[in-house]
Structure 1
């Protein structure tokens, strides 16, 4: 399918002009470093919700997880429910309000800064900043790859050039305008994404003879599941894999739980709560955010599974086979083959919006963590605006470099990896920090270290998807993974998060008992 490059160029020019203008507005309203990091703490609830959703839903959700749905089926729809419940309702109403209140009282400007000030601990600020700086480029690179793959497929553009363009255009308004520019552009991009995904859902169902016919056809394709996939637990594309099977464990522990729970501890999302004027703003943001999350990933996962119907009818192949075995290429191929030219342009803008909205938030989060929570803390001096922008640029360069060396079919996995790491390292300590009257710094430190180290060890030596390509298990133990099945497909979050929480509870309990004994001793002495 040949896309009219003139139409695309015109639409893209208008889109970029609006994005850069919104970036300019953000720059005009950014007066200092705190404004650059927290947008003045008075963002409208609708903007918070749209920005949050656009940051959360990226090309990894659309391209990466859409490809996973084509491979594993509609069981991934459970992730949408988890995202709405944990990522919107619990995040905004339970965690968001406390985060905003404490962040404003302590004048925290980043997530590591918040943790450091709550626990009065330089270690917590350093450690949180280090996890972000080392782990977030993985996720950032996956987002860039998702957008670049679509451009490559659609316009036969060089993949490397597409990566550079994504990074460069996004960098302009992030570096210049700060978080306010990010929020303005994110909100605009969220609206584009909602329009594009709505068109995609309607067109897909209409072209397949309606909702009922589309789903019945996909259900009847269960007999086409290969013997290899069936041995892994695959039962069809409209049903869950067999309970306890390798595919079920991957879908549930890595995709649904890893991303569904991991969203609560995402630094680039947590900082959105600190931009709200008051708690009412967070309450008002829930409905908008919930609808956006329902539509954006919900459509991607549904259409992703249904691509099997199209490719089998048109090519006699299942979706992943039609895409050459690369799940990251399923969505771009479907859009280019199945939909009309005018929609390819719309969807490309949708993916541009998805990629750029998330990239801008990640660039901002990485850069501010590096400059404020590591560099600034080391010097015991608040960074200047110039230093802040410089570090943002450096983290952008690191992310682009990493994208060049990452393998195929990595988008969804890299996203789940980063979210799982954040949950294991941050979630117990973060929960303790904002809900405990007397948070224990020692308990938080031990929890963070146990969570991060356990996550890394399980990733490097047990979880076969990572241990095999990393090669550390083979180097030290002579085997791809040191534990047998089914442990090899149990995601690190299932092991690391509980151990992180247990470590926090144990240390807190020991401190509490010791303090109680000391009080009794003092009373007896008196």
Structure 2
């Protein structure tokens, strides 16, 4: 099971960095983001700017600590981290259920994005495109486990970067350079080149919200956090972080540039989410257009495979095995994981048959929901010895429920115009601290395992203070 879920903890720096970025850069990045830029213009650069620091938050805050805890405790999945840290089977089951719900939304966006690429490029009907993507990704994920996902992610990440560099270069060249691009946008609408954009898309408060949302929500993404369980040396993490940071700094500005250039080149589209494919087909020579179209396809497949692995693992290991059959054999676990992978795929395909207009809105909802639910329970569980099971439960529930309620009642603009994630993030922190203060500390054995010298030094200091007082 360690081999299947974390690749035997033998992941090297290149594979760790590339699989992390390929998982984060989903179909929303290559289909949804250009669609938003095609619709709203330059202002989306500010909307997405928080991604420039995702490596600082993701690798810098959690990477080393998650790797250490995983090697100490044998954790194989994200719910393993929380359940074992707080000695609570309920936390394991609850976190697994929330992962399944929110990652299903993520997967719907990926299936829809992939199908729209095939629909726009080769004319495959949308429904058949969804099924094709679903079956192909489910097969290699189910039978290859993490190693298959990591290696395919790595190749796909290379294709993604090369594809977006080529597309951006040819697109700007065909427009006639940056000045011509700016003039073309202004001729359509001056709102495309100024804030807050068409239809008041991004007021200042919303821009601040998204700068907070993008980097901090990554701290609660199980598919990303679980990547840090797969290496066995902190030097691997440092090299992976450097490489991934350079990758992000190159790719995200260019993918946004493609979206804006697409608006100048192809103003009218059947769907905004066709912006990337329409631009590629217009600006690139036919001989290389197919390779470049593989970039969004790669982004979609890499994210889908990671989401499927995490979701199937949550159902099999974190719900079934720990609740009903603790001594389940590896062979049975593998068969059940195959079954759950295909079952989740079927549900996702059914939901993807009727997607919304802008796929990036689903991606933001699912990613922000995961961050609001898991970020603070994970951070405090790993770094604060006083955090306990009550704090974790309250933090997850308050973060999840408050986020969903805000979306249902106010949409993506909550109190004072902030995104619901901002308020849920704050409320989850308060709930974690309050719950931890209401319940007793955990056993010294668990704290010794997770915090070692820190708990011993505090215990010695307390004994010394008692001796002095007496």
Q: Same fold (TM over 0.5)?
A: yes
2:106 matched residue in structure 1? 139
Is the CA contact (8 Å cut-off) linking 1:83 and 1:263 kept in structure 2? no
- Please give the TM-score of this superposition, normalised by the length of structure 2: 0.87
Q: Deviations over 1:210-238 (max 9, x none)?
A: 3x4245425xx34643xxxxxxxxx6334
Deviation of 1:290 after TM superposition, in Å, equals 1.2
TM-score, normalised relative to structure 1 = 0.78
d(CA) in 2 for partners of 1:301, 1:249: 20
In structure 2, distance between residues paired with 1:236 and 1:274: 46
SS of equivalent residue, structure 2 residue 231: coil
Q: Is the 8 A contact 1:140 1:399 kept in 2?
A: yes
The residue aligned with 1:273 is: 228
**1:130 to partner: Cα distance:** 0.7
Q: CA deviation at 1:250?
A: 8.6
Pick aligned residue for 1:495 from 423, 426, 432? 423
Q: 1:251 to 1:214 in 2, by over 3 A?
A: farther
Match of 1:450 in 2: 398
* Residue 152 (1) aligns with residue 80 (2): no
Alignment of 1:316-395 (within 5 A): 319=267, 322-324=268-270, 326-381=271-326, 383=328, 384-395=333-344
Q: Please give the alpha-carbon distance, in whole angstroms, between the structure 2 residues aligned to 1:343 and 1:174.
A: 28
Aligned pair count?
444
Q: Structure 1 residue 511: deviation in Å? A: 4.8
Instruction: Give the Cα separation in 2 of the matches to 1:150 and 1:81.
Output: 25
Q: 1:101 aligns with which of 54, 65, 68?
A: 68
Matched, 1:415 2:390: no
Match 1:237 to one of 192, 200, 207: 192
Q: Is the 8 A contact 2:38 2:260 kept in 1?
A: yes
Aligned to 1:294: 249
> Do 1:51 and 1:183's aligned partners in 2 also have CA atoms closer than 8 Å?
yes
Change (3 A) 1:135 1:254: farther
Q: Kindly state the Cα deviation for residue 185 of structure 1 after the two structures are TM-superposed.
A: 0.7
Counterpart-to-counterpart distance in 2, 1:224 and 1:66: 17
Offset of 1:506 from its aligned partner?
Answer: 2.5
In the alignment, what sits opposite 2:174? 207
For 1:154 and 1:342, how far apart are their aligned partners in 2?
A: 14
Distance 1:250 1:223, change over 3 A: farther
The equivalent residue for 2:7 is 39
Q: 1:148 to 1:296 in 2, by over 3 A?
A: farther
CA offsets 1:82-109 (integer angstroms, 9 cap, x no match): 2232x21221122100011011111111
Say if 1:49 and 1:289, in contact at 8 Å, map to a contact too. yes
Given the alignment, which residue of 154, 157, 168 partners 2:135? 168
**Mapped partners of 1:419, 1:510: distance in 2:** 30
User: Does structure 2 conserve the Cα–Cα contact (< 8 Å) formed by 1:88 and 1:286?
Assistant: yes
Residues 295-304 or 144-153, more deviating: 295-304
**Matches of 1:419 and 1:434 in 2, distance apart?**
21
Distance 1:106 1:84, change over 3 A: farther
Shift of 1:204: 1.3
- Residue 506 of structure 1 is matched in structure 2 by 434
- Give the deviation of 1:401 after TM superposition: 1.4
Cross-structure match for 2:82: 115
Q: How does 1:453-464 map to 2 (within 5 A)?
A: 453-463=401-411
Rounded Cα–Cα distance in structure 2 between residues aligned with 1:141 and 1:257? 25
Q: Following superposition of structure 1 onto structure 2, how do residues 81-100 of structure 1 map, counting pairs within 5 Å?
A: 81-85=49-53, 87-100=54-67
Q: Is the 8 A contact 2:219 2:374 kept in 1?
A: no
Superposition deviation, residue 156 in structure 1: 1.1
Residue equivalent to 1:258: 213
Say what the alpha-carbon RMSD is for the aligned residues. Answer: 2.8
Instruction: Tell me the alpha carbon deviations over residues 9-56 of structure 1, each in whole angstroms, 9 at most, x when there is no partner.
Output: xxxxxxxxxxxxxxxxxxxxxxxx221111110101110001111111
Question: What secondary structure sits across from 1:437 in the alignment?
Answer: coil
Cα 1:340/1:250, change in 2 over 3 Å: farther
Alignment check: 8 A CA contact 1:119 1:441 kept:
yes
In 1, Cα distance between equivalents of 2:300 and 2:367? 17
Aligned: 1:48 with 2:3 = no
Structure 1 residue aligned with 2:456? none
Q: Is the 8 A contact 2:377 2:396 kept in 1?
A: yes
Deviations 1:168-226 (A, max 9, x none): 1111211111001100111011111111111111111221223x4245425xx34643x
- Matched-pair contact (CA < 8 Å) for 1:442–1:507: yes
2:162 matched residue in structure 1: 195
How many Å separate the matches in 1 of 2:43 and 2:434? 36
Q: Which runs of 5+ in 2 are unaligned?
A: 444-461
177, 183, 191: which is aligned to 1:217? 183
Q: Hey, what does 1:10 align to over in structure 2?
A: none
